[in-house]
């Protein structure tokens, strides 16, 4: 789902004034496949100045994909799950991302309950993702396993500018830590912190280039950038100058079709095995019955 390049949107009205045409043009000029737009905060709708579905439909009309995201706290996981389900079904989101951080540490039971509820409501094939800490060795109480069981992949927040690390180190440690948790690279879609705030400086254009390059080399299928409202012209130019290697709409659609056919084949194999088992048991019963009848004769 998150193949290619994506940009996160937090406050819609701060993104080119919330004008969908300008937002779409900027995203497409930068070679982005879509946007990850905030829909709710915890169990409460997030005020974007207009219904989330209208934003979603407007961006889709320009050929973009639109995923929804929300920061979740786990205090009212039932309410959070309900908002997510409404965003997916009524809001027409192409994917849903749970931003889950410190509030879920030591609460694997809540993570499990939340994910189970979402999967029951949206089905096994809907693109459900989570975004959290990139350097797992520093966050051992976070329930990665619970989210991994139910999600299609993860979008780790690799904010090397906030870490004050080289981009290479941040990505190396992230891939290393996630591999230790059994998370394959093709399920990882790293997020770059393309922002400046307080003592955190913007990443350079060269660092963003290395980010895209390394993520592709390590086996990820796509990357994203936080966030639209924070990015200046230099960061947008860096996105435009660094296309995701080998990605097109056609290749992504082909991947999805292959995955769908693989799931169908697995289901048919399971059904065939069950059918063969029933036939075998039936033949055994028939033989036993025949022996019994022959004995009576």
**190-218 residue pLDDT tens:** 999 999 999 999 999 999 999 999 999 99
- What mean pLDDT do residues 258-284 have? 71
CA separation, residue 84 to residues 39, 40, 67 (Å): 8, 8, 11
CA-to-CA separations, 276 to 18, 206, 284, 285, in angstroms, rounded: 58, 59, 12, 14
pTM across the whole model:
0.83
CATH number of 4-245: 3.20.20.80
Q: What single DSSP character describes residue 244? A: P
- State mean pLDDT over 289-294: 75
Q: What is the pLDDT of residue 291?
A: 78
> Can you tell me whether residue 222 is helix, strand or coil?
strand
What is the per-residue pLDDT for 255?
Answer: 52
Q: What is the pLDDT of residues 52-105, one digit of tens each?
A: 999 999 999 999 999 999 999 999 999 999 999 999 999 999 999 999 999 999
pLDDT, position 251? 56
Question: What's the token pair of residue 27?
Answer: 């995203």
Predicted local distance difference test score (pLDDT) of residue 259: 55
Rounded mean pLDDT of 281-290?
Answer: 77
Could you tell me which residue, 247 or 113, shows the higher pLDDT? 113
Taking only the tens place, the pLDDT of each residue in 36-50 is: 999 999 999 999 999
Q: 292 versus 248: which is more confidently predicted? A: 292
DSSP conformation letters of 229-261: GG--HHHHHHHHHSPPTT--HHHHHHHHHHHHH
- pLDDT, residue 261, reads 67
Neighbouring CB atoms inside 10 A of 9's CB total: 25
What percent of the chain lies above the pLDDT cut of 70?
92
Residue matched to tokens 């290749």: 251
- pLDDT of residue 290 exceeding 90, the answer is no
Higher pLDDT, residue 48 or 247:
48
- Yes or no: say if 60 and 32 are a contact pair by the CB < 8 Å rule: no
pLDDT number for residue 265:
73
Whole-angstrom Cα distance, residue 65 to residue 3? Answer: 11
Query: What does the mean pLDDT of the chain come to?
Result: 93
Q: Mean pLDDT, to the nearest integer, of 240-263?
A: 66
Convert the pLDDT of each residue in 140-181 to its tens digit.
999 999 999 999 999 999 999 999 999 999 999 999 999 999
The alpha carbon dihedral of 169, 174, 162, 27 has a sign of positive
Residues found in the chain: 297
What span, in angstroms and rounded, lies between the C-alpha atoms of 113 and 94? 23
Would you kindly state where each structural domain of the chain is located, as residue ranges? Answer: 4-245, 248-297
Task: Please tell me the predicted confidence (pLDDT) of residue 105.
Answer: 99
């Amino acid at each position: 789902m998150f193949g290619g390049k994506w940009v996160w949107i937090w406050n819609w009205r701060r993104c080119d004034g919330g004008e969908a045409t300008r937002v779409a043009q900027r995203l497409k000029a930068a070679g982005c496949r879509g946007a990850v737009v905030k829909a709710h905060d915890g169990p409460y709708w997030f005020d974007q100045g207009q219904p989330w579905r209208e934003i979603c439909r407007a961006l889709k009309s320009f050929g973009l994909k639109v995923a929804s995201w929300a920061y979740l706290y786990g205090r009212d996981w039932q309410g959070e799950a309900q908002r997510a389900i409404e965003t997916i079904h009524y809001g027409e989101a192409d994917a849903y991302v749970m931003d889950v951080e410190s509030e879920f540490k030591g609460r694997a039971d809540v993570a499990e309950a939340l994910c189970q509820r979402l999967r029951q409501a949206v089905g096994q094939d809907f693109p459900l993702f989570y975004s959290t800490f990139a350097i797992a060795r520093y966050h051992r109480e976070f329930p990665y396993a619970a989210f991994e069981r139910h999600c299609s992949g993860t979008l780790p927040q690799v904010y090397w500018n906030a870490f004050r690390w080289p981009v290479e180190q941040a990505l190396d440690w992230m891939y290393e830590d996630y591999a230790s948790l059994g998370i394959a690279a093709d399920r990882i879609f790293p997020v770059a912190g393309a922002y400046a705030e307080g003592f955190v400086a913007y990443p350079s254009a060269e660092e963003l280039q290395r980010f895209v390059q390394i993520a592709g080399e390590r086996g990820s299928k796509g990357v994203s950038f936080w966030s639209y409202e924070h990015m200046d012209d230099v960061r947008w130019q860096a996105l435009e100058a660094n296309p995701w290697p080998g990605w097109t709409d056609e290749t992504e659609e082909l991947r999805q079709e292959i995955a769908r056919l693989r799931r169908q084949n697995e289901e048919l194999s399971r059904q065939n095995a069950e059918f063969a088992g029933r036939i075998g048991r039936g033949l055994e019963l028939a033989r036993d019955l025949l022996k019994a009848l022959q004995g009576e004769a």
